[in-house]
Amino acid sequence: MNITKTTIPEVIIIEPKIFGDERGYFFESFNEKVFCEKVIKTDFIQDNEAKSSYGVLRGLHYQLPPFAQSKLVRVIEGKVLDVAVDIRQESPTFGKYVSVELSGENKRQLFVPRGFAHGYVVLSNEAIFAYKVDNIYSPESEGSIIFNDTSLNIDWKIKHEDVILSEKDKISKNINEVELFNYKDKLY
């Protein structure tokens, strides 16, 4: 497993070792011992999967404490641009983001820690997106930032007119209009 820190050190790219031959391939998508040693000690409690078509943008979602969530995300089939935005007030990287192309082909994973908003847009005809979370879903603690917030200036690698949003994501607000994390809060 290859671990790469991004421009925001808490957001980490994980590339598994893939064993392939004429029959196909095999790789270990998660190993708790290795993950805790090389990334962070956390207990994932739930796996989720979503299938979406080209242009579907899910995000930028987060949950506030005590229901904040870390995510370990990957794509099983297709290709997405995955984005993590630092929403920890007073953090040196507040309002900065990391974007990584995840695909069924490259098998990369992205660890998105608590204190970050997360979203992705589908760049292929379809994509199957899978992720682990380390805390329960709480609708009352959920927040969302609009994908085209000009203060974030995220390059989604897709024309904005091609973006397909849920009704809930259409009414998301800019980062300066939502409740955020206190950088000094203990998130783990």
Q: Which of 25, 61, 118, 160 is catalytic?
A: 61
With beta carbons less than 8 A apart as the criterion, state whether 79 and 104 touch: yes
Strand order in the sheet with 2-5: 2-5, 12-15, 109-112, 71-77, 126-133, 46-53
Q: Which two tokens stand for residue 74?
A: 């990957």
The rounded distance, in Å, linking the Cα atoms of 72 and 58 is 16
The rounded distance, in Å, linking the Cα atoms of 126 and 159 is 17
The rounded distance, in Å, linking the Cα atoms of 157 and 65 is 31
Residue 160 annotated among the catalytic residues of the structure? no
Pair type for strands 46-53 and 109-112: unpaired
The rounded distance, in Å, linking the Cα atoms of 25 and 128 is 18
Q: Which of 131, 137, 160, 188 is catalytic?
A: 131
With beta carbons less than 8 A apart as the criterion, state whether 80 and 41 touch: no
Q: Residues 6 or more apart from 2 whose CB is under 8 A from it?
A: 14, 15, 17
Residue 61 annotated among the catalytic residues of the structure? yes
Instruction: For residue 126, report the phi and psi dihedrals to the nearest 5 degrees.
Output: -145, 160
Residues marked active site are found at: 61, 131
